[in-house]
Structure 1
Amino acid sequence: MLTELRIKNFAIIESLSLPLARGFNVLSGETGAGKSIIVGALGLLLGERASADLIRTGSDRASVEGSFDIAGRDDLARALDERGIEVEERTVVLKREIAAGGRARAWVNGSPVTAGVLAEVGRQLVNLHGQHEAQTLLDADSQRRILDAFGGATAQADAVREAAHALAAVREERRTLAARRADAERRADYLRHVVKEIEEARLVAGEDERLEEEARRLEHADELRTLSGGAAGLLESAEEGVLHQLAQLHRTLASLERIDPALARLNELYDNAFYALEELSRELVEYERAVELDPERLAEVQRRRDLIFRLCKKYGPELAQVIDTGRQAREELDLVDSAGIDMKALDAREAETRDRLLEAAATLTAMRQAAADRLSAAVEAVFPDLGMAEGRFRLALTPREEPGPTGAEDVEFRVALNVGHDARPLARVASGGELSRVMLALKTILARLDGVPTLVFDEVDAGIGGRVGLMVGETMRRVAEHHQVFAISHLPQLAARAHHHIQVAKGARAGVTTADVRVLVGDERVHEVARLLGGDPESEVSRAHARELLDSAAGGGATRGAAPEPASAAEPAPARRKVSARR
């Protein structure tokens, strides 16, 4: 449950700490005192979009922080541990901060997280319901999820979705294969020409470069023989050749060494140079002999190069691309022959997958039909407690021609809130206040199934009053037996049913607007309920009426601020808190 909400520099709030307790909490106050701002701050903490516009004027950042007691939520503790977030003493602290530049940061128990992770954790801790959230009841997906949750069919719905996605994947694979085959058949003549032309050429990767080198040698064979022979002659000529002249150099070096033995290294250098020149001479002679004047081979190489050039111009520009084009054309042609076999295999897979989808969807349909009757009866049973005694609630299951990811039928909530009218889609007959009460009715039914510990209701009392307000308050009090409930209200009948009453009051101190938050008990609570009744809160008549409302809740326990039995004896009773928020 949410134990405390701390807000700093958010909208008009400078600093505020809101204490909450188990059971049914209600927040009341004058219009403009800051109730909606507190709900907005809670929404920001739960992952709603952050904006620099939310920062209080004159401040460079705003922050919202919530402390949660997660006793009994071992699943959440394990999930956080898997993310590397430590949980100590059954406490989780969520924090969101917005900087003036618009940059937002988030933390869970002091560990930095993304806004997505913060929202994921927040969804497991708090459900926030207001006039806007009640509009989700008009969404077909939300209606379907509610029915599946009530009927224990969520896992079966997941199985249907997986089967539908598998069928869609097989059909897409089949469609792609059919399209490729049809395209290959249309292009078959052209593809055969491409394959024949490229395969007959027997191309080899890198062949163009090797042919270019060979052609250059053949074209310049005479010049190459002349140059290599001349170079060999310069080295080996009997009188003027380099090797002959080196003999005189060798005798000179020998004489130097006899006089100075330290010059022996010069002879080593000479030997290395002489042997290298001898090797060079042999290589030149062998190269000259190897160079052939072969006009026929040159003509053959040029024809081959011309063929490769033409193919590159048509299918290139590089030889590797020509070879790849031939391979692809061959694969397309092969597809014409092999696609029939592949198509039969895909047809079998499609039939098997479709049968699996039909079976899963039929099971889901049966579960939904059984759940729809039970949920309709359960919601109608709650309607009288919410001031809709004549209301009727129906779940229409409209079959589809083909099962899809969401099943074999569309789910639609239908209501008739007035006598003599047929049940019609919820979106066409319910006002904002009625939508909120339908949402509350569903929450009452789903309370034991919903693992989220804290439910927040904003403006659930819109458009109601008097006896209906008392009924809504009693319903929320019953929901609070299984959840922590936090409601923003201006209705005295609803506020009187709360276990804990918190007041937001706006005032001025030293010329600065302030918002004070305090837990009301005893006479303070009587005074606030009397104010909500619209009379003079100081008059005995108004106060007597307020006491009557408070005493009628749980045998008078509401006046004393009594709450459901706490889960832990160590949990302190709510104490009076007063915090200033400056603007």
Structure 2
Amino acid sequence: MLVQLSIKNFALIDDLNVSFDAGFTTITGETGAGKSILLGALSLVLGKRADLSSLKDGSTKCVIEAEFAISNYNLKRYFKDNDLDYGQQTIMRREILPSGKSRAFVNDTPVTLDVLSTLGRLLVDIHSQHQTLQLTDNAFQFRVIDALAGNTDLLDNYGARLHEYHLASNELERLIAHKNEAEKDLDYNSFLLQELENATLNQGVVEELEAEYEALNNVESLMELLSNSHQLLNEEQMGILSSMTQLKQLTQRLSEFGKKYGNLNDRVQSIAIELADLGNELENLSEAIEPNPERLEKVNGELQLLHDLFKKHQVNEVDELLAIKEDLTQKVGTSLNIDDTIQQKELEVTQHKKDLQEVGTAIRQRRQKAIPMLGKKLTERISSLGMQAASFKIELFPLEDFKRNGMDGLRFQFSANKGSQYGELKKVASGGELSRIMLAIKSILASYEKLPTLIFDEIDTGVSGEISNKMGEIMKGMAHNMQMFSITHLPQVASKGEHQFKVYKEEIGNTTSTKMKRLIGDERVQELAEMLGGKSFSDSAVSHAKQLLFEN
């Protein structure tokens, strides 16, 4: 509910601060007094884009604030999702700077214009004659029918299932596309994988193979070196082991002369044991080694394969080849098993489709029951608004695919006169007729869903007499469930308001300002009398004005 509106430095408004109440409020004033300015300011704080022409004084910023009571709007989730401080009394503020920049705030938290406008649409619904074209929008027409049908929970369920269906369908399309692409690459990837599987890919394998290759490729030199080394150790006369035997004998005798000589002897004895072991190992290696051209060729082939793989895959390490091998294994495996995956996903899509059809059918059945009721209520309402011969033809028909709001199409047709053919609202209904139909539909909706503050901006233009009186009664009835405003030129509508404000111009010196004040008592009588008879209203206009007020 709009509680208070503050406007500073906007168009013809210097500084305006006005409070509003629940129920039905009418706003009146002469043509050109500034009612559209007031609505323009409210539209800015609700998220409409602005420009420098909005400033009355181009050297000072324009500030518009609107305070709302929002405890009945279930907006805590919206505030949380947008990191806003929730308060049952919420203030939306818009500032337009002399530089042309615009800033928006919700409870003093800076917000984007999108956040402000989304919140604004949840709090206020403004309707003018131009905006009655919403009636011709299929989504709005479905909203009306679904409100009467009580489809809110079913539509939420349908929306969740539709999301799951789209996810599964998109994944199926991706898998099929991947299969088609993978089939082109399968043979090549399989060949690359086979090459990697034929190679020995272990940590340090290159170093090991290179060392073995060097040994096999230089076997004669190795044999000569081993033989010479073994001979140097074991030669009978001058060999190291022969000399070592003599040295052992000498240090053995020295050890008898004290501990330090004993330690020396221990070291010599240890070296002798090591040299003897070394001699045995040299002998074993010398006896084991022999030319092996077959092994040399195999080692050379393995090394060449690894270097070829490094070059082909443009890498330098075995670890990188292993990573490529793992990737190729996954690709080939996926290609070979993708048919099973596609089959499982097709079953999943089929189940989602079945679930959607079940919920969509339930939505359709409720709509079919609600359509006659809506047609009857609409016909009754517009008949009371002077369109006694008008009627509606609402047809629901099944669609082949799943839409955002179900599986149905909708034809919402209208005939203004008996015997006239039915046609689309935008083609056969006049502006005045669309205004009355919109009022009728909104009045019906008010009984089925929680509507935001509703502002009708001169939608009663071109209407007079008993019809305008009935329009006022309908608005007043709607105000039992919501806050309702009507900007009007008709005294019959203005008199129905529980509260009435007047917008007027005031000239001070060389400047003109738009003002707004609440009318009470005789002020309302005088305003209504002026609306009935002009500035020079008669006693009969006053009497008529009082009659309008007292009847309400």
Indicate the TM-score class for this superposition, using the shorter chain for normalisation.
0.7 to 0.9
Query: 2:150 aligned with 1:139, yes or no?
Result: no
Name the structure 2 match of 1:339: 338
Paired with 2:392 and 2:470, the residues of 1 have a C-alpha distance of: 18
2 CA distance for matches of 1:449 and 1:360? 21
Partner of 2:537: 539
Report the CA distance between 1:356 and its aligned residue: 0.7
Pairs within 5 Å for 1:349-498:
349-498=348-497
Counterparts of 1:177-196 in structure 2, within 5 Å, are 177-196=175-194
Task: Tell me, yes or no, if the aligned pair for 1:527 and 1:537 is still in contact at 8 Å.
Answer: no
- The CA distance in 2 between the partners of 1:336 and 1:548, in whole Å, is 87
Q: Which amino acid aligns with 1:93?
A: I
- Aligned residue number for residue 11 of structure 1: 11
Aligned partners of 2:13 and 2:515 also within 8 Å: no
Alignment equivalent of 1:552, drawn from 544, 548, 551: 548
Secondary structure in structure 2 of the residue aligned to 1:187: helix
**1:305: how far off?**
6.5
Indicate if the aligned counterparts of 2:525 and 2:545 stay in contact, CA closer than 8 A.
no
Q: Distance in 2 between matches of 1:412 and 1:211?
A: 81
Q: What SS class does the counterpart of residue 56 from structure 1 fall into?
A: coil
Cα distance 1:521–1:197, how it changes in 2: closer, same or farther (>3 A)?
same
In structure 2, the partner of 1:20 is 20
| Aligned mates of 1:7, 1:40 — CA distance in 2 | 11
Cross-structure match for 2:163: 165
Question: In structure 2, do the counterparts of structure 1 residues 419 and 316 end up closer, same or farther at CA, with 3 Å as the change threshold?
Answer: farther
Residue 36 of structure 2 is aligned to residue 36 of structure 1: yes
Provide closer, same or farther for how the CA distance between residues 318 and 365 of structure 1 changes in structure 2, counting only shifts above 3 A. Answer: farther
1:314, distance to aligned residue in structure 2 (A): 3.7
Report the equivalent of 1:236: none
Once the 2 structures are TM-superposed, how far is the Cα of residue 441 of structure 1 from its aligned partner? Answer: 0.8
Shift in Å, 1:453 = 4.9
Given that residues 394 and 413 in structure 1 are in contact (C-alpha distance below 8 angstroms), is that contact kept between their aligned partners in structure 2? yes
Contact 1:130–1:457, Cα closer than 8 Å, also in 2 = yes
Preserved CA contact (<8 Å) 2:199 2:302 = no
Q: Structure 2: which amino acid aligns with 1:503?
A: K
State the distance in 2 between where 1:53 and 1:213 align: 86
The DSSP-based 3-state class of the residue aligned with 1:188 is helix
* CA deviation after TM superposition for structure 1 residue 440, in Å: 1.1
Other structure's SS at 1:526 match: helix
The change in CA–CA distance for 1:393 and 1:327 in structure 2 (over 3 A counts) is same
- 1:311 maps to which of 309, 312, 317: 309
Provide the C-alpha distance between the structure 2 equivalents of 1:190 and 1:331, rounded to a whole number of angstroms: 14
Q: 1:153 aligns with which of 151, 155, 170?
A: 151
Contact 1:47 1:119 survives alignment (8 Å): yes
1:417 CA displacement: 1.9
Contact 2:393 2:414 in 1 (8 A): yes
Q: Could you report, residue by residue, the CA deviation over 1:392-429 in whole angstroms, capped at 9, with x for unpaired residues?
A: 12322121023333211113322212222232222222
Please, which moves more after superposition, 449-458 or 204-213? Answer: 204-213
The code of the aligned residue for 1:418 comes to N
When structure 1 is superposed on structure 2, of 408-417 and 50-59 the one drifting more is 50-59
Selected match of 1:127 from 125, 128, 133: 125
Give 3-state SS (helix, strand or coil) of 2:389's partner. coil
Q: Aligned partners of 2:407 and 2:17: how far apart in 1?
A: 50
Q: 2-side partners of 1:214 and 1:63: how far apart?
A: 86
Amino acid at match of 2:541: H
Cα-to-partner distance string for 1:253-300 (whole Å, 9 max, x where unaligned): xxxxxxxxxxxxxxxxxxxxxxxxxxxxxxxxxxxxxxxxx9x99999
Q: 1:480 to 1:206 in 2, by over 3 A?
A: farther
For residue 32 of structure 1, give the secondary structure of its aligned residue in structure 2: coil
Query: How far off is 1:213 after superposition?
Result: 12
Q: In structure 1, what is the equivalent of residue 513 of structure 2? A: 514
Provide the rounded CA distance (Å) in 2 between the counterparts of 1:488 and 1:340: 66
> Which region of structure 1 is more displaced relative to structure 2, 191-200 or 436-445?
191-200
Shift of 1:160: 1.5
The more displaced of 373-382 and 468-477 is 468-477
Q: CA deviation at 1:383?
A: 0.5
Count of residue correspondences? 481
Distance 2:422 2:203 in 1: 76
Mapped to 2, the partners of 1:500 and 1:485 lie a distance apart of: 10
Alignment check: 8 A CA contact 1:385 1:475 kept = no
1:326 to partner: Cα distance: 3.9
Q: 2:392 touches 2:412 (CA, 8 Å); kept in 1?
A: yes
Structure 1 residue 205: Cα displacement: 7.7
Question: Distance between the aligned counterparts of 1:317 and 1:445, measured in 2?
Answer: 73
Deviations 1:94-140 (A, max 9, x none): 22222234443333444444444444543443222223432222222
Residues in 2 aligned to 1:207 and 1:193: alpha-carbon distance in whole angstroms: 22
What amino acid is the match of 2:197? Answer: E
Measured at CA, do residues 182 and 499 of structure 1 come closer, stay the same or move farther in structure 2, by a change above 3 Å? same
> Per the alignment, in what secondary structure is the counterpart of residue 104 of structure 2?
strand
Q: Could you list the runs of 5+ residues in structure 2 that have no partner in the other structure?
A: 222-290
Alignment-derived partner of residue 234 in structure 1: none
Question: In percent, how many aligned pairs have the same letter?
Answer: 33
Aligned partners of 1:387 and 1:471 also within 8 Å: no
The answer to which of 363-372 and 21-30 deviates more is 21-30
Residues 80 and 26 of structure 1, relative CA distance in 2, 3 Å threshold:
same
Query: What is the 5 A alignment of 1:294-305?
Result: none
Deviation at 1:177? Answer: 1.8
Counterpart in the other structure of 1:199:
197
Distance 1:151 1:8 in 2: 45
CA offset digits 1:422-456 (Å, max 9, x no partner) = 32222222233322222211111111333235211
Q: Give the counterpart letter for 1:175 in structure 2.
A: E
CA 1:66–1:200: 2 relative to 1, 3 Å: same
Distance in 2, matches of 1:118 and 1:312, equals 59
| 1:516 CA drift (Å) | 2.1
In 2, Cα distance between the equivalents of 1:136 and 1:214? 86
Distance verdict in 2 for CA 1:205–1:458, change over 3 Å: farther
Are 1:497 and 1:550, in contact at CA under 8 Å, matched by a contact in 2?
no
Aligned-partner SS, 1:95: strand
Amino acid at match of 2:544: E
Distance 1:376 1:549, change over 3 A: farther
TM superposition score normalised by structure 2: 0.76
**Mapped partners of 2:399, 2:95: distance in 1:** 47
Distance 1:118 1:521, change over 3 A: same
Post-superposition Cα deviations, 1:43-77, rounded to whole Å, max 9, x if no partner, equal 2222333444433342332111122345x628457
Q: Match of 2:40, as an amino acid?
A: G
Tell me the equivalent position of 1:566.
Answer: none
1:486, CA displacement in angstroms? 0.9
1:30–1:536 CA distance, 2 compared to 1 (3 A): closer
Structure 1 residue corresponding to 2:105, chosen from 104, 107, 127: 107
CA distance in 2 between counterparts of 1:157 and 1:212 reads 71
Q: Distance in 1 between matches of 2:316 and 2:423?
A: 69
Larger deviation, residues 352-361 vs 458-467: 458-467
In structure 2, how many angstroms separate the alpha carbons of the residues matched to 1:209 and 1:512? Answer: 95
Name the larger-Rg structure.
2
Q: Report how far residue 5 of structure 1 moved.
A: 1.1
* Cα-to-partner distance string for 1:316-351 (whole Å, 9 max, x where unaligned): 366666554444433333234312322232232122
In the alignment, residue 417 of structure 1 is paired with which amino acid? A
Instruction: Tell which deviates more after alignment, 119-128 or 402-411.
Output: 119-128
Q: Give how far 1:175 is off.
A: 2.1
**Structure 1 pair 492–415 and aligned structure 2 pair: CA distance change class (3 A):** same
Q: Deviations over 1:182-235 (max 9, x none)?
A: 32223333222222223323445897899999999999xx9xxxxxxxxxxxxx
In 1, Cα distance between the equivalents of 2:77 and 2:170? 39
**Do 2:136 and 2:426's aligned partners in 1 also have CA atoms closer than 8 Å?**
yes
